[in-house]
Every structure is written in structure tokens, then in C-alpha cells.
Structure 1
Amino acid sequence: MRQVAVLVEGRTEECLVEDVLGPVAEKRGLYLVPIVVTTSATPTRAYRGGGHWKHYDNSLRGFLGQRHWYRVALLVDYYQYPKSAPGRDCEGLGEARQRKLVRELRRTYPDPRFRPFVVLHEVETLVLAAIDAGQGDGWIPRKGLAALRRAVKEAGGPECVDDGPATSPSKRLEKADPNYMKTVTGPLLIAQAGLGAVLERCPVFAEWWEDLLA
């Protein structure tokens, strides 16, 4: 089975790869190996997203230098895109700027095996897609669910929900449910909705995913 290293920001993304993306990829003959990039750690050893790009750069160059990997992928959030990362200062908003960032990543690391992706606007966008697909009852309070579905509709889709410090997908989920568990509830709702239903609502993510599996 062909091995794919997937560099991620933290435990939330690691769970997504392990519990949701990995099983689907295996059916296509790919074994996804999530690798958390160490940027900074809390006293409990929990990794935080963002941080300086030098940590990602070191990891990427290391894995791209190992020839046994069929592909080397990268998942980082558009919101709090790492400091000094390729394209960080480029202009634009939303998907237009996201595509510029991906192009800069590919230009900086020209290895044909490299599959970078900047998630619009956070990986929790996929959770919003699952909720939009009808999931969340019994896991998130009814009032909070209604607010999340309304936000997706008003934005024009999960990937359009903005990246403001109080209105990013993760912040909206925390407001909807103060007990929301990023590494448990999120992957569970995505799995319950089915990856197909989530990808249907997240075409930018779906484009990267199909390219990774091709």
C-alpha cells in the first residue's frame, strides 16, 4: 500500500485523518500517516496551531527528502496561517487568496509529490458541512445548531464562513456548544454525515482530496 505523510497542525486534524480520511483513502490503496508539526506546546503537551513557519519548513523538507513516501501532504488553516509561511503577505480574500497561498507553497516546495492545502477557513469548516447535512442532534444544543445552520446558509456555504477572531468556524462551534470537544465531536459528526456529503458542501477541499487520491 502506498504511504502518504500528512503534516497537520494539531490533534484535531490528526483525528480527522485517522478517523475519517484514512479509512476512505485505504479503499483507494493509500495509507495516510498523520504527523503533527511541533510548533509550540502547552504544559499538557497539546500542540497549538499557527506558530512560525520554520517548524513546518523543517518537517516538510525532512519528509520530502524521504523517497519512500508516495505523497507528502500538508493541512493548515487559512485562519491564523503560520507566520512567515509562503505567500503570507499576498493580497486578496477568501478562496482567491487561498489559491494564491497554495500556489506559493507548491512553488516553494516543487517536489511533484507535494500536495499542500490551506483549509477555508479552518478544519472545523468540515464540521459545519456535516451539520448542514443534518448532523448534530443530540450532540449540540438545538439553539446552537440552528445558529450554525443559519450561518452556513447566510455565508453561501461552509467554506465561506469567515475567519474573524470571534466568528471563525471553531469559535462558532464553541459558542453553539460550550462543551464542544474538537477532537471527538467534530470527527464524529463528519463520519456520521459521510465524507461524500461533506465534500459536496466543500468543493475547494474536495478538489484537494481528489488530487491527493489520484
Structure 2
Amino acid sequence: MIRVNIFVEGQTEETFVRELLYGYFQEKNIYLNPILVKTSTTRKGGVVSYAKIKPQLHRKCLEDKTAFVTTMFDMYALPNDFPGSGSGLKTSDPFQKAEHLEQEMGKDIGHDNFIPNLLVHEFEGLLYSNPQAFAAWFDESVASILQDERNAFPSPEHINDNPLTAPSKRIRNCCNGYDKPLHGSLLAIDIGLDTIRQECQHFNRWLLRLESIIPVL
């Protein structure tokens, strides 16, 4: 069985991997192991400093070279010390930006069993794959507002990363009581992996990459 360690930012992403991705990949003989990044000796979660994340990725890649290591980090609000963030890349294409940052992170980690990945722009963007799912947890008016916002962009992954209008900010503005650890994974489960993959091409490309892994002998 192929083993893939997925470093995630928080409990929501950890549950997402366990509830939506684990079973799907297990059928393909690929075992996924979500790992919460450590921000200090006592705390876990969040990418507040790349300098704190890099050693964790490096050690995991060296720990077992027959296993793979990948990431599920938000591109939104990456720390300033993230590889490629200061290179002056000028593009309005979120996919080009994500690919550039992923390539730079891959070069910085420098291991063949490392697969860099960023969510465009953040986890909540995936939830815009089907805004109607919010109606069951909030109400129809919330679903309608989110659907109108989704319709204003080419895809959920194009919803911008401005501090006031990033996907998470939009959802919190209209969903009174939205709790990411509680609602995030439940909404994703209701939406379903197939729909998310159809709507979010960069996310889907990452899953295709994992599906195409060739075991290290």
C-alpha cells in the first residue's frame, strides 16, 4: 500500500482528509495520514511561520523514503517567509500563483517524495462548490447570498484573497454562528468529493497527482 502523509493546518482539514479523502484513496490502495502542523512545542495548527513548518516536512520526508509527504495549506495569508512569496510574481491568475509557490516550496524542501500543494485560496473556497448545502445548516437566504457570490467568479478557487472578501470572511459575514471546525467538514461531506473536484480544478489536480503516485521500491 502507498502511504501519503498530509500536513494540514487545523482540525477542519484533518477531518476533511479522514472523512472525504481517506476512504476514496483506500480503495485505490493509497493510505492517507493527516498530520497537524506544530506551531510550537505545545501547540498545533496554522501556518504562522514557514521556518517552523519546514523542519517538520523535512523530517517526515527523511523518516521513510518509501512514503510520500504532501501539504494542504491555504494560499491565503501565507507567512512572509514562505518560498517564492517575495519573488515579485505579478499575476492575477490564482492558479499560476499557486503553482509558482508550490514549485518554490518543492525546491526548498528538496525531496523526491515531497508533493507540495496549496488550497486556492483557502479551505472555505471549496465550500463554494455548492452553496446550496448551507441551507440545511443555516437557511435559504444564506445559501442564496453565497450562490450569488459564487456566480460572480469563474470558479470557487477564483474567489479572492482580500482580507475583507476571502471565502472565509464572506461565509462568516452571512452565516451567523458559522464554526469552521464544526460546519466546515460537515458542509464538505454534504457537498461531496465529486462536486468539489468538478468545481475546483487546482484541488482536483492535486488529487490526480496523488492517484498517479508510483510506489518507491
Does TM-score exceed 0.5, indicating one fold? yes
Q: Which sits farther off after the overlay, 113-122 or 177-186?
A: 177-186
CA deviation profile, 1:83-139 (whole Å, cap 9, x unmatched): 3111111323422211110111121123222111111100111111132xx422221
Q: Matched residues in 2 for 1:138 and 1:74: separation?
A: 31
Answer yes or no: is the 8 Å Cα contact 1:130–1:189 preserved in 2.
no
Quickly say closer, same or farther: Cα 1:130–1:46, change in 2 above 3 A.
farther
Does residue 50 of the first structure (1) align with residue 47 of the second (2)? yes
Equivalent residue runs for 1:1-214 within 5 Å: 1-39=1-39, 47-67=44-64, 69-90=66-87, 91-92=89-90, 93=92, 94-131=94-131, 134-214=132-212
CA deviation profile, 1:3-39 (whole Å, cap 9, x unmatched): 2110111112111111111121111111111111112
How far residue 212 of structure 1 moved from its aligned partner, in angstroms, is: 1.1
Q: Secondary structure at the residue paired with 2:127?
A: helix
Q: Which sits farther off after the overlay, 8-17 or 185-194?
A: 185-194
Counterpart residue type for residue 101 of structure 1: L
Structure 1 residues not aligned, in runs of 5+ = none
Quickly say closer, same or farther: Cα 1:205–1:152, change in 2 above 3 A.
same
2:215 alignment partner in structure 1: none
Structure 2 residues not aligned, in runs of 5+ = 213-217
Q: Matched residues in 2 for 1:72 and 1:36: separation?
A: 13
Q: Secondary structure at the residue paired with 1:32?
A: strand
How far residue 69 of structure 1 moved from its aligned partner, in angstroms, is: 4.9
Q: Matched residues in 1 for 2:3 and 2:155: separation?
A: 32
Counterpart residue type for residue 21 of structure 2: L
How far residue 150 of structure 1 moved from its aligned partner, in angstroms, is: 1.0
How far residue 176 of structure 1 moved from its aligned partner, in angstroms, is: 1.9
Counterpart residue type for residue 64 of structure 2: R
How far residue 47 of structure 1 moved from its aligned partner, in angstroms, is: 4.4
**Identical-residue share of aligned pairs (%):** 26
Q: Matched residues in 1 for 2:43 and 2:148: separation?
A: 32
Q: Which sits farther off after the overlay, 71-80 or 45-54?
A: 45-54
Q: Matched residues in 2 for 1:11 and 1:108: separation?
A: 26
Q: Matched residues in 1 for 2:44 and 2:57: separation?
A: 17
Q: TM-score scaled to structure 1, two decimals?
A: 0.90
Q: Matched residues in 2 for 1:106 and 1:204: separation?
A: 16
After TM superposition, the runs of 4+ consecutive aligned structure 1 residues lying more than 6 A away are none
How far residue 184 of structure 1 moved from its aligned partner, in angstroms, is: 2.5
